[in-house]
């Protein structure tokens, strides 16, 4: 599965139309965001997480998406189930991202 880039305009519909969604919030200037990207993309192809929609949103250009998860630092990962926020946190640790994903299964 690939990672879908979502915008301010389609954030709400993506969260509501998919049962399980993970969002990676990033900024173009964020070095840690760039470093975690290959790991995040690899997780999107992991068979353990089939059925989860992997997305990313530019935190600087998506105010509504940022507020929906309470983004306070970058990179920030949030998981949504049935349109509702389950959990989110600023992290660049793959183990924590995996624990977030497992909460959706």
* Catalytic residue chosen out of the listed positions 6, 22, 33, 65: 33
Give the pLDDT mean for 15-28: 96
Q: Which two tokens stand for residue 50?
A: 């089939």
What pLDDT does 25 receive?
Answer: 97
**40-72 pLDDT, tens per residue?**
999 999 999 999 999 999 999 999 899 999 999
What pLDDT does 20 receive?
Answer: 97
Q: How many CA atoms lie within 13 A of 94 on its CB side?
A: 11
What pLDDT does 31 receive?
Answer: 96
Instruction: Give the confidence band of 1 by pLDDT, cuts at 50, 70, 90.
Output: low
Active site residue 33: yes
Write the burial class of residue 50 (CB in 10 Å: 0-12 exposed, 13-18 middle, 19+ buried): exposed
The sign of the torsion formed by the CA atoms of 13, 11, 63, 101 equals positive
CATH number, domain of 19, equals: 3.40.30.10
**66-105 pLDDT, tens per residue?**
999 999 999 999 999 999 999 999 999 999 999 999 999 8
Number of domains making up the chain: 1
Domain range enclosing 49: 4-102
Which residues are 4's β-sheet partners? 55
* Catalytic residue chosen out of the listed positions 6, 21, 22, 30: 30
**pTM > 0.85: yes or no:** yes
Active site residue 30: yes
């Amino acid at each position: 599965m690939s990672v879908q880039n979502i915008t301010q305009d389609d954030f709400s519909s993506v969260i509501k139309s998919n049962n399980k969604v993970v969002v990676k919030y990033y900024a173009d200037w964020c070095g840690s965001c760039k470093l975690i990207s290959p790991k995040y993309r690899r997780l999107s192809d992991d068979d353990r997480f089939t059925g989860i929609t992997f997305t990313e949103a530019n935190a600087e250009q998506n105010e509504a998406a940022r507020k929906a998860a309470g983004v306070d630092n970058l990179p920030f990962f949030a998981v949504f189930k049935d349109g509702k926020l389950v959990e989110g946190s600023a992290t660049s640790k793959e183990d924590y991202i995996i624990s977030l994903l497992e909460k959706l299964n």
